[in-house]
Structure 1
Amino acid sequence: MANNNIPKELKFEDLPNYESVLVKLNERNYPKHLLMGNGFSMAYDHQIFSYNALYDFIEDIEDPILSKLFEIINTKNFEQVMRQLDNFIELAKFFDKGGELVNTLTRASQLLQKSLVDAVSSLHPEHVFEISEGKSIACFDFLHEYLKKDGKVFSTNYDLLLYWVLMRNESKYANDGFGKEHLNPVETRRGQEEAKYGDLNWGKYKEMQKIFYVHGTLPIFDTGIAIEKEVYTNRKYLLENIKDRMNNKDYPVFVTAGNGEEKLEHIYHNRYLTYCYDQLCNITGSLVSFGFNFGEYDYHIIDAVNIAAKRGAQSGEKLFSVYIGVYSEPDLEYIINIQDKFDCKVNVYNSQTANIWG
């Protein structure tokens, strides 16, 4: 395991700022990568992308089972409720010989996961131009710092903000692995037909991929045959098309399980998510996190970091360090307490200084 290099007496006000982290990393000859969590979206609008907002949406549904669940468990944290539900189901399997309680709890778990997807899509800004040009450019500059220098960007967020920013600013480095297949190349080459293209499917450009949605995201769908990305049409915004698919019981690729082990199981049941996770497991150089606190429900991400760090190997192509952005004194205390879970050097910085949205 890594040494505890963050002193326990370190105070939040003494943390280095984000720019100083970049200066330090840019002096080195190895890549730097970015891992983003919900703090990225909350930095844009905490009223939309917080657990409280999602909880309020679920409460408005007025489903008696879900309302009772949140009341009993006494939290607005979806992951915690899902985890408790899983525990209840396992207990019920032992005590409930008739199976009625197991079925009720299983339906509640499925409803909660569906409601989370519904909540994210319903609370989301309607279209890309609701993000001001200034915010879009500022965020793109933040991301481009990694993409232009052989880095990769990993997101655990479900929303469209990252996708919108990269699309609007047309980065040539922001390859997400999706592309359209040319359906009639021979006829097009002969001048017999205009070019026809298929759906926007994942896989064609995965070797050049630099954007990874580790837990899935709203526009990505698994048809069973292909991994598709929903797009704009001439008549409808992207979010409208996503909602149309959801109304037809076609749901996006979302990892909504409770703890890290269950999330990893979900990831390994989808080839797109598996590829994204494996890429995280194989990064080298340094990893910077923003808005991701490595909480108890995300230990599978710590495990990916440790795999990339070659389980603490002293040399070779590996991940040498992680720079974790913390937003408050309690966040700092938490990272200090879990730093021994990492097999690489752990550093911290003040994430309030990043100003990613300008």
Structure 2
Amino acid sequence: MVALLSFAEAIADSEQFSKRHLLLGNGFSIACRPDIFHYGSLFSAADFTNHPELVKVFDVLKTQDFEVAIKHLEAGSLLTSIYARGHVDVAAKMQADATALKEILLTAIAGNHPDVPSEIPNEKFWACRRFLNLFLGPSNDGQVYTLNYDLLLYWTLMHEDNPLSEVVVLATNDGFGNDEDDPMADYVVWQGEVGAHNARVHFLHGALHLFDAGTELQKYTWIRTNDRLIDQARRAINDNKYPLFVTEGSSSQKKAKIRHNAYLYQGFKQLTANASQGKHCFFILGHSLADNDDHILRRLGTGRFRKLYVSLFGDPELPGNQQIVAKANKLVAMRNDRFPLDVSFYNAATANPWAFA
């Protein structure tokens, strides 16, 4: 029988540590909008009904990454004049499919995400800010890591506090700042490893407001644009800037993409560094500890921090929760005897960040 703490009990127990850090999974977003966030990836949410042949492109390339598929189609269309000389229709078809794939990606993004922050009630944002205060507030110099690529965390950090009752001070540094060449741009840019050293918020798998512009990583800011998500994404993709997110594939495939992107790898190193601190502790909320995120979980299992608090939703004896318990115990077994890891489980319903009092 699994002993289940309340979230308040877990927080009280964590007071013995100098810092508490938070790792968010999809349950964080589901708790806010269960109607649209119950899906595993954009690929699984995409509708290929009118273009079934495009699924074969992903199969051949052994990827579920939209950017990879689009760029291969566009590059391939340019090469047909060499390898399929005289078949102009092939190049046109590949270009048309690349365009169609962009629209499928945009539709998947827009159909599975609130369009603007105002679609989320203010009360939910204020509650979530109170929740995040336990990790990003003045009394705790912790960090928040999210495996989600949606904008709910970002919107919460940017949201104004309740003017009638409270002000919640949160550290919001994510390593981005003004573009020195265009400080009034609609976006800010990642400041690099040195500039990101003091970042407190990390999108470990990227996010829908982060766009790879080739020479820099840009973060489109709601405050500066007030654009709907779909309009922002369409404009960026039409400029050959793609949202930076890692939601598809196995743990090894995700790790490979992380290692080849400076921003993602910096967040990964920050998590690793904090996991190596013996006086810190970690909370996991809304994550199933699935194998496809082993590249992250192993850093917790092989770290030196002493206490891990893991959320369970519903009856602890449910098969899904038993799998989480078993995986958490595997993390414990990874530890060197000199740095043992203790795991406690808490009731996710008592930690509901979107109704946190």
Decide: shared fold, TM above 0.5: yes
Compute the displacement of 1:271 (Å).
Answer: 0.2
Deviations 1:249-304 (A, max 9, x none): 42111113311111000100100000011111111311101111110111111112
Q: TM-score, normalised by structure 1?
A: 0.73
Determine which of 302, 320, 330 is the counterpart of 2:319: 330
Say whether the 8 Å CA contact 1:257–1:266 is kept in structure 2.
Answer: no
Say whether the 8 Å CA contact 2:151–2:208 is kept in structure 1.
Answer: yes
The code of the aligned residue for 1:174 comes to: T
1:312: which partner in 2?
none
Determine which of 96, 109, 120 is the counterpart of 1:131: 120
Are the structure 2 counterparts of residues 39 and 66 from structure 1 closer, same or farther at C-alpha, using a change threshold of 3 Å? farther
Q: Is the aligned partner of 1:321 residue 2:318?
A: no
**In structure 2, what is the Cα distance between the partners aligned to 1:219 and 1:114?**
17
Are the structure 2 counterparts of residues 250 and 181 from structure 1 closer, same or farther at C-alpha, using a change threshold of 3 Å? closer
**In structure 2, what is the Cα distance between the partners aligned to 1:65 and 1:246?**
22
Are the structure 2 counterparts of residues 327 and 29 from structure 1 closer, same or farther at C-alpha, using a change threshold of 3 Å? closer
1:49: which partner in 2?
37
Q: Is the aligned partner of 1:352 residue 2:352?
A: no
Compute the displacement of 1:203 (Å).
Answer: 1.7
Say whether the 8 Å CA contact 2:29–2:152 is kept in structure 1.
Answer: yes
Say whether the 8 Å CA contact 2:157–2:172 is kept in structure 1.
Answer: yes
Deviations 1:229-263 (A, max 9, x none): 01234563455222321244421111133111110
Superposition pairs for residues 110-125 of structure 1, below 5 Å? 118-125=107-114
2:286: which partner in 1?
291
Are the structure 2 counterparts of residues 257 and 64 from structure 1 closer, same or farther at C-alpha, using a change threshold of 3 Å? same
2:264: which partner in 1?
273
SS in 1 for 2:352: coil
1:166: which partner in 2?
157
SS in 1 for 2:273: coil
Determine which of 330, 343, 350 is the counterpart of 1:340: 330
**In structure 1, what is the Cα distance between the partners aligned to 2:308 and 2:119?**
33
Which segments of 5 or more consecutive residues in structure 2 lack a partner in the other structure?
66-96, 162-168, 336-340
Compute the displacement of 1:81 (Å).
Answer: 9.2
Q: Is the aligned partner of 1:223 residue 2:220?
A: no
Determine which of 124, 131, 146 is the counterpart of 1:142: 131
The code of the aligned residue for 1:325 comes to: S
> Identity across aligned pairs (percent)?
30
Compute the displacement of 1:130 (Å).
Answer: 1.3
Compute the displacement of 1:326 (Å).
Answer: 1.2
SS in 2 for 1:294: coil
Determine which of 233, 241, 247 is the counterpart of 1:242: 233
Give me the CA root mean square deviation.
3.5
SS in 2 for 1:140: helix
Q: TM-score, normalised by structure 2?
A: 0.73
Compute the displacement of 1:127 (Å).
Answer: 0.8
Compute the displacement of 1:121 (Å).
Answer: 3.5
SS in 2 for 1:253: strand
SS in 2 for 1:335: helix
Which segments of 5 or more consecutive residues in structure 1 lack a partner in the other structure?
1-8, 71-79, 84-107, 185-195, 310-317
Compute the displacement of 1:321 (Å).
Answer: 1.8
Say whether the 8 Å CA contact 1:294–1:301 is kept in structure 2.
Answer: no
- Length, aligned pairs only: 297
**In structure 2, what is the Cα distance between the partners aligned to 1:24 and 1:354?**
15
1:179: which partner in 2?
177
Deviations 1:102-135 (A, max 9, x none): xxxxxx9xx9999567513332111111111110
2:252: which partner in 1?
261
Are the structure 2 counterparts of residues 239 and 116 from structure 1 closer, same or farther at C-alpha, using a change threshold of 3 Å? closer
SS in 1 for 2:287: coil
